[in-house]
Amino acid sequence: MPLPLRTLPVVQNWDCHVTGTCCHEYRVTLSEEEVQRIRQQGWTREELEGRAPFQYQGPPWRRMVQLNHRDDGGCVFLSREGRCRIHERFGYETKPLPCRLFPFVLVPTGDHWRVGLRFACPSAAANKGRALPEHQADLLLFAEQLAQREKLSPRQDGALTTPPRLDRWQQLDWPDTLRLVDALVGVIHSQKEPVERRMRKCLYLAEQMRQAKLDKIQGKRLSELVELLLAAAEQEVPALPQQVPAPGWIGRILFRQATALFTRKDHGPNRGIASRGRLALLGAAYRFTLGRGRVPQLHGKIPQIDFESLEEPTGPLPADAESVLDRYYTIKIGSLQFVAFGLPFWEGLESLSVTLPIIRWIARMYRDRPPAEAITQAIVIVDDHVGFNRVLASVRQRLSFRILARTGQLARLIAWYSR
């Protein structure tokens, strides 16, 4: 019997508003069956404006087949009228599963699926459309098809996957792993204080839990330990961002390198200076390290602005902007989207936390807009990478995030860019 779905405790809406984001900006990886299906549909090069339907990525032993793209980033199957040719000719169900699934992210977690969302889709970030529970029937079907596509079958405990490791050595079963996830959701969705302090509390919990030997602490005792640590966090985590020391030079350099990564857009209509070649990218990397002068436009939505002006505080966020951040992080944490690419649990949480100062930093670029709109735009840019950019899980980048978290620089950066 298929596993049930669980949406998260936030009001999240979505419907497709034909922004064209997905068909213009993303690389759709196909399963063998989807490749065969498209081949059998018999598309000719003339119909696809002289291009082949597929392109190939990766080394021969890990070759991936993706939908081909035009020079403007649009999928080869996207007509000039902005419609999907596969959908038009053969029907919605014949489109590749990733096209139908976007922007939903379904994560098998123990005895159910959790529903996440990609806020890189502007409609998801802006909370426009029907409430998630109204998509239940489609999502159940997608979950079933996703399990088949990924060849996931129930293990002895009924789950489709093993739970993520907490760190290198520790791993809990699914019920205890979800106890931790739900405790983190409880913190990030608490609404009693700004999201920046909630995130610093999550990092405090991660730091303390790393040191605990969890092999003998399970079930109710684990919940009691988490409650104790959260009570301690109330005392230990400074209440205001102004009470947190400023980040040091190493924190600032690693932060700017991370901002370069999260603001880089190499495909589609919002492509930044990547279109000018490798030399331009090298120059941008140097300027991000230096952190002076004009911010390189790695993304088409980045305005002309200096690094210096992004250090000026913008003050606390109004309630509507806070609620955008609340919704974003509740969904990212609750749906376990932070443990992509096999990242251990605590490490994934830390790498997700890095996005908060980056979002606040980018939002400062849009001071002329209402804060909720500026935060939403920043999330759309950053979320393009969360859970999908493999570079975030590279050895070098993991080391960089680890240094930020273990030296306390990450909490300092969160506080600094929330002033």
Contacting positions for ligand SF4 (CB under 6 A): 23, 28, 67, 75, 77-78, 84, 86, 95-96, 99
Provide, rounded to whole angstroms, the least separation between the CB of residue 69 and ligand SF4: 9
> Where does 2-121 have alpha helices with state H?
21-25, 32-40, 85-90, 97-101
Burial (CB < 10 A; 0-12, 13-18, 19+), residue 350, is: buried
CB 259 within 8 A of CB 355: no
Which amino acid appears at position 193 of this protein?
Answer: E
Per-residue tokens: 93: 């169900």
| Residue in the structure block whose two tokens are 């989207």 | 337
Nearer to ligand SF4, 47 or 182 (CB): 47
- Rounded-to-integer distance, Cα 172 and Cα 166, Å: 8
Q: Which is nearer to ligand SF4, 95 or 179 (CB)?
A: 95
Rank residues 122 and 186 by Cβ distance to ligand SF4 and give the closer one.
122
CA distance 195 to 417: 12
User: Measuring CA to CA, how many Å separate 229 from each of 184, 214, 232, 338, 352?
Assistant: 12, 14, 5, 22, 21
Query: Smallest distance from the beta carbon of 195 to ligand SF4, in angstroms?
Result: 33
Nearest to ligand SF4 of 70, 210 (CB atom): 70
Closest distance to ligand SF4 from the beta carbon of 272 (Å): 21
Nearer to ligand SF4, 66 or 177 (CB): 66
Minimum separation from the CB atom of position 86 to ligand SF4 (A): 5
Other CB atoms within a 10 A radius of the CB of residue 47 amount to 15
Nearer to ligand SF4, 77 or 142 (CB): 77
- 19 in Cβ contact with 78 (< 8 Å): no
User: Could you tell me the smallest distance in angstroms from the CB atom of residue 15 to ligand SF4?
Assistant: 15
Q: How far is the CB of 289 from ligand SF4 (least distance, A)?
A: 36
Nearer to ligand SF4, 99 or 352 (CB): 99
Residue 247 DSSP class: P
- 382 neighbors 362 (Cβ within 8 angstroms): yes
Asked whether the beta carbons of 31 and 97 are under 8 A apart, the reply is yes
Provide, rounded to whole angstroms, the least separation between the CB of residue 390 and ligand SF4: 20
Instruction: Give min distance, CB of 392 to ligand SF4, in A.
Output: 23
Question: Coil, strand, or helix at residue 164?
Answer: coil
CA distance 268 to 291: 27
Asked if 177 contacts 346 with a C-beta cutoff of 8 angstroms, the reply is no
CB 92 within 8 Å of CB 45: no
Tell me: cis bond preceding 154? Omega within 30 of 0 counts: no
Q: C-beta of 143: minimal distance to ligand SF4 in Å?
A: 19
Please, which residue, 77 or 255, has the CB nearer to ligand SF4? 77
Nearer to ligand SF4, 38 or 273 (CB): 38
